[in-house]
Amino acid sequence: MTKSITSLPNQTVSPDQKRQLLRFVLDAMEGAANEAVEALLGAGNLNRENVQQVLGSGKNIKFGGIKFLQELIPELAKLRTRCLSLGQGLTLKPTDGKRTIAKAKNTFAYINGDFTNYGTDVSGRVCSGMTPVVHEVVEDSTFEQMFGSFSADLDKLCFEQDQIIDFATDHRNWLRIDGHTTFFLFKVGDRFFVADVDLGSDGGLEVYVSPFSDDSVWSGGDRYRVVVPQLTPAIA
């Protein structure tokens, strides 16, 4: 039987997590509603009269949306990750975007050649300081399921490569260093990739890369970690 995240110990929902959940739901619903309206307009199925009928049915839409979310959120809550670092004060300093993982030999003892083979050895953009959030994977997940549980907008979940380098350097104690791995999403051009960092047998950090489209299933029982940018400001 699948175990719900809410059944795990020490899982009291913080005000910040509640705020993130509400923002996530609102963003997802707004995007879905916009797509639905655009599709209806494009098909010529909306006119002034039936739009007014929809506007007059707000109560029905509200109840229908509540029922949908009451079913959807518990289903999502059975899956994927739980937060480890909220409130721990993790930060990443501003970066200039010039460093790439393929050349980060001062940080990583081993760098998978696919960083070059996949064409990821490309500088990124300048970024201000930000807050990373560390989660652990608690249910079997593909990359799409793992990262999609945070936001439907993958761009919001991406780090620049030099931010990943800095996390591995400055927050090494938050990486899985017991034979398992920690995942980071990044983007080059219009392609998404996942960098995974772990500790090699000689004690040095190793980093590998996979296309985000890789549909391998990562076991929740191994408690892999995944790091994403904080999506909403922390509550003081």
pLDDT, tens digit only, all 236 positions of the chain? 233 333 334 456 778 778 877 887 788 778 777 877 887 787 777 788 788 877 877 667 776 777 766 666 665 555 578 888 877 889 999 999 999 999 999 999 999 999 999 999 999 999 999 999 999 998 899 999 999 888 888 999 999 999 999 999 999 999 987 778 999 999 999 999 999 999 887 788 999 999 999 999 999 889 999 999 987 644 33
15-42 vs 58-77: helix axis angle to the nearest 10?
120
- CA 210, distance to chain mean position in Å, is 15
pLDDT for residue 75: 59
pLDDT for residue 71: 63
pTM: 0.68
pLDDT for residue 12: 67
pLDDT for residue 73: 67
pLDDT for residue 235: 36
